[in-house]
Structure 1
Amino acid sequence: MTLKTSKRRFSERTERLFMALYGAAVIGTGLLALLFPLAAGVSLGLVLGAALLTFGLVTMLGGVATGKTNWVDVLRGALAVLVAAAAFMTPLAATATLVWLTGAWLLVSGCWMLVVAFNRPAKRTWLLALAMLDICLGLLLLLLDPLVAVGYAAILLAVSLVMRGTYILVLALSGAPRP
């Protein structure tokens, strides 16, 4: 065995170990979200707040950094900072708003797919099925109590994380190449 082969094997084992740890961490995060859906909802609201705060500050900085003040960027950044403050003060409400917007998007998307389905006979069955799924999920998210909708969203996120983590873990343990 040459030194090069030995290094490659060590590198492959190390990569698999890190993939396995990553998969286990994703599964753990999913299980935590499943056990504590309300906390997962609050966390999502706080992440939204952090993202908006970062965007707002960077946008405002960009609006004044060029020498000539771009008031559109300054005002847009200030609005993002204000919305971030609201998200930090009421993170669950921020998450409920995201869930509501997702429901509205699914409803509109499903209705649009219905129109497309009737214009494409070759793929009509799949498009109709997907359209009905989107419409039903959209209505569910729009009509449920906001806290219940946040709980459902947290559970769906948790299931997605557990499945994704399991996939990564199986890849790591099987020695399959990383996707």
Structure 2
Amino acid sequence: EMLFYGIEEALQKGERVCIATPRTDVVLELAPRLKEGFPSITVAALYGGSVDHKKDAALVVATTHQLLRYYRAFHVMIVDEIDAFPYHADQMLQYAVQQAMKEKAARIYLTATPDEKWKRNFRKGKQKGVIVSGRYHRHPLPVPLFSWCGNWKKSLHHKKIPRVLLQWLKMNLNHE
């Protein structure tokens, strides 16, 4: 949803937009939201085994592998989870992204976990970027907390739930 304004602007100019991600589950999550957000636009969801074959759609959400089907097709290329496997470690997928973009395309890379090299280059002004400190729905990112449960294996062996875990479950299940 954070990207919708920019996507809408590109589509109104008649430009083709691709959101690429290494993971099929992300394609399956994004496709319905994009179809709802852009009801008058043809949206294609492409991944291995997909039945969607609208290759020429104005808005494409696809796994990075599917970009091998395209050559100089997109004015706007948004690559989500650039740090995720297999994209991060696969030169062929990075090549597929480059080949799928028009020569003068807007390129946007997204990651929730930029590596140290990227952060260092960003701080030095060698890397362009924007840091978004919150998610689109304004709920903070969950921060895991560690709670000692004692000898949890022994408790489970005696068919008991550790007290700390039981308290946490009661507190969190009552809030929903």
TM-score by length of 2: 0.24
With a CA cutoff of 8 Å and minimum separation of 6, indicate the structure with the bigger relative contact order.
1
Of Structure 1 and Structure 2, the greater helix share is in 1
TM-score by length of 1: 0.23
Larger Cα Rg: Structure 1 or Structure 2? 1
